[in-house]
Amino acid sequence: MAKSLSNNHDAMQQKPTFRPLTIAQENAIDLLITGATDGAVAAAVGVDRVTVWQWRHEHPMFIATLQQRRAEVWRAPQEQLRALMRKAVENITAAIEGGDLKTSMELLKITGMYGDGRGNAIGEQDPERLLKQQAHAQIQREGIPKDESDMLLRSLETNRNRQRLEEIEAELRERYCE
């Protein structure tokens, strides 16, 4: 019995091999990164619009590939914009120093210093309180319950959650993996 559980555990630890995307899915990704709508993509690749929506929101391999391709497309323009940041800051500085009220207001809005005041909110300044906040946050990250009833409830939820998570993962593997 223990051996079969251990084999099952080892099988679950291996990364699944996802089915490759179909040609229609690859073409859909190419169209989506150019800004085409789900409807236009669906018509171009010969599927229903709902299918394209499902691919974009539910299909792990499709989602990952779409994100990778978007990153590739955006990498060069992002680098160009980063290279221009110094010049943009110099322009803003010159405009403000020249008395440009509109630029001044825009800078205040962008930095959160204008409007509802959240951008300039000052946080906790007492180091002892900050230390206590950090300690409480760490306890929460570690999942340590405050009392025994909370511990019992968490253990019940954890078992139910773990079981359902395994069921869902198995269903998804069956759908998307080889």
pLDDT grade for 31, boundaries at 50, 70 and 90: very high
Do 49 and 42 meet the contact criterion of CB atoms below 8 Å apart?
Answer: yes
- The rounded Cα 56 to chain-centroid distance in angstroms is 14
Q: How confident is the model at residue 4 (pLDDT cuts 50, 70, 90)?
A: very low
Q: Quick one: tokens of 36?
A: 């085409």
Task: Give the mean pLDDT of 21-44.
Answer: 96
Cα 171 to Cα 159: distance, rounded to the nearest angstrom:
19
Provide φ and ψ at 18, rounded to 5°. Answer: -80, 145
Mean pLDDT of the chain: 83
- Give start and end residues of each alpha helix (H) in the chain: 2-13, 23-32, 38-45, 49-58, 60-97, 101-110, 127-142, 148-176
User: With the CA atoms of 85, 89, 95 and 100 taken in that order, what torsion angle do they form, in degrees rounded to the nearest 10?
Assistant: 100
User: Token digits for 157?
Assistant: 């939820």
Looking at residue 118, what is its pLDDT? 62
Contact between 53 and 37 (Cβ < 8 Å): no
156 CB neighbour count, 10 Å cutoff: 10
In the chain, domain spans: 146-178
Please tell me the pTM assigned to this model: 0.53
Tell me the average pLDDT across 54-70: 93
User: Do the Cβ atoms of 124 and 130 come closer than 8 Å?
Assistant: yes
Mean pLDDT for 57-62 is 92
Task: Find out whether 19 and 178 touch, Cβ atoms under 8 Å.
Answer: yes
> How far is residue 172's CA from residue 51's CA, in Å, rounded to a whole number?
17
